[in-house]
Chain A
């Protein structure tokens, strides 16, 4: 009995001695800071936009939607030929220029007759860093680089006289295709200048009297041509349009159809050529030209792949004339090329039209 009491007393003592040390509190206080937050940059949109290729100034121009970030964004642009390995283009950092949220750059080494697909990869442009980027875009649709492409419209020469001097467009080089287009308020064919070849000379008489004359040549070192448009007091509007050789095209341009389409059509608001041109060679540029006697604005209402290039209505003399030009590139040969639909403003006038092709 005495032993049990002694053990109990020791246990009590042990408790008293140990428990305060293991559980005792100390006077204390604490305060926490608000969290400081750090967030990494992102790229928006989160999917790299697809490239749209086109031709500008003899080279392939590439356009795509801008990608934005908190830092300057550069783009790694690659092209691939069918079955080939990717190669880099547009190595400028950040690549190209931005206009209206569209990024552009030029592929300076692609060549005519080549077919390319393009991709781009946006990345945050910080020298020496592991690039923060988006996955590379899906490939653009295969793009056939044309041999000839619209390069420039020369100045309009409006005159009621004979022997007007029509300047070549700025940037013309030997080997380019030059189209001489003259619209007169008088239905009379001009004389084709030396060195030029007539393509179309069609007109209508009466109250809508007008004449469309189209000639062409491979550009030489000259800077202008003299033409008598056979105008009367109504006057004539004449200019030269350059379809320049695209980079890598060293072949002499030729007509790419055995059947130039031309004609007239009664006055109406819209017009579609009743005949489609058929090209006889691959990778040809097809040019649609329309003219009227009147101060009408001509535009494409159904392009069918044609790109609008110029519309002019002028009053060179006592009356007005107008004309429009559009074109498209046709890869394959042998089939009809669907004609675009043109529209004119104001009181409808008789249409005069022509469709030609070169390569």
Chain B
């Protein structure tokens, strides 16, 4: 029956020790000590940029109506060579080096002037010496000529095998031809073509087997 008193005694002793310790700490934190310090210089980290914009030259957006068989743009291989060529002037403006590519989208809202065959509208898209689209075909990664289908977007055709630097300009040219053999069913048809100019950092992203003028899907375009 004495055990509760004994526990009390032990608890009382522990409490006194705790009070003493706290007193020691309070007194210690308010004491001044001799010391010194030195801060390093600022280490700055800035990301490079990958940006694109319109080129310095004006683009020529085509709105060609009333096309008839045999009509073609000025620099098409055959045809009347009487209609305006279309151009799309762009510029790489980022600070990092970058790979450049273009997407090609052919579309229609009704009867299609572009048949994806030899009897429909032909597009000849290029960027300098790089051929992007030749009539109805583009080249895949392995160089296979493949048909551009209306309503689909052909992505990532590499413009150059060397990275672009700041202010690299790219001038896309679109020549076109409606062949003489275009059938009567194309009367009143319509087609549009849209180019999307892309840039992606080239750092830490080797180009691998990609070739200019061919689809390049082995790198990440963002």
Contacts and interface: CB of A to CB of B under 8 A. Distances in A.
A132 B184 contact: yes
Nearest to B174: A36
B199 A39 contact: no
B83 to A, nearest CB: 10
B201 A28 contact: yes
B197 A32 contact: yes
Interface majority SS on A: helix, strand, loop or mixed?
loop
B14 interface: no
B135 interface: no
Contact of B65 (A26, A39, A132): A39
A224 B62 CA distance: 68
Which of B54, B113, B174, B187 is packed against the most chain A CB atoms within 10 Å? Answer: B187
B180 interface: yes
Interface string B171-195: 0101010101111101111111111
Contacts, number: 157
B141 interface: no
A27 B48 CA distance: 9
Interface stretch (B5-13, B36-44, B86-94, B126-134): B86-94
B188 A39 contact: yes
Contact of A28 (B183, B193, B222): B222
A130 interface: yes
Interface string B27-59: 000000000000000000001111111100001
A38 B63 CA distance: 6
A30 B52 contact: yes
A104 B88 CA distance: 47
B52 A38 contact: no
Interface in A110-134: 124, 126, 128-133
A254 B201 CA distance: 99
Contacts of B98: 27
Interface residues of B, number: 59
A305 to B, nearest CB: 40
B201 A26 contact: yes
A83 interface: no
B187 A28 contact: no
Nearest to A43: B187
Contacts of A36: 61-64, 86, 174, 192-194
Interface string B53-78: 11000010111111111100000000
Contacts of B172: 33
B88 A33 contact: yes
A132 B68 contact: yes
A42 B88 CA distance: 29
Which of B61, B63, B68, B182 is packed against the most chain A CB atoms within 10 Å? Answer: B68
Contacts of B47: 27
A40 interface: yes
Contact of A31 (B54, B184, B220): B54
Nearest to A71: B68
A37 B194 contact: no
A29 interface: yes
Contacts of B69: 124, 126, 129-130, 132
B96 to A, nearest CB: 6
B127 to A, nearest CB: 12
12 contacts: A25-B220, A27-B48, A31-B54, A36-B63, A37-B191, A38-B191, A39-B64, A39-B190, A40-B111, A40-B188, A71-B68, A124-B69
Interface of B: 47-54, 59, 61-70, 86, 88, 90, 94, 96, 98, 107, 111, 113-114, 121, 172, 174, 176, 178, 180-184, 186-201, 205, 220-222
The 5 A-B pairs of least Cβ separation, nearest first, read A28-B222, A70-B66, A36-B62, A35-B192, A129-B69
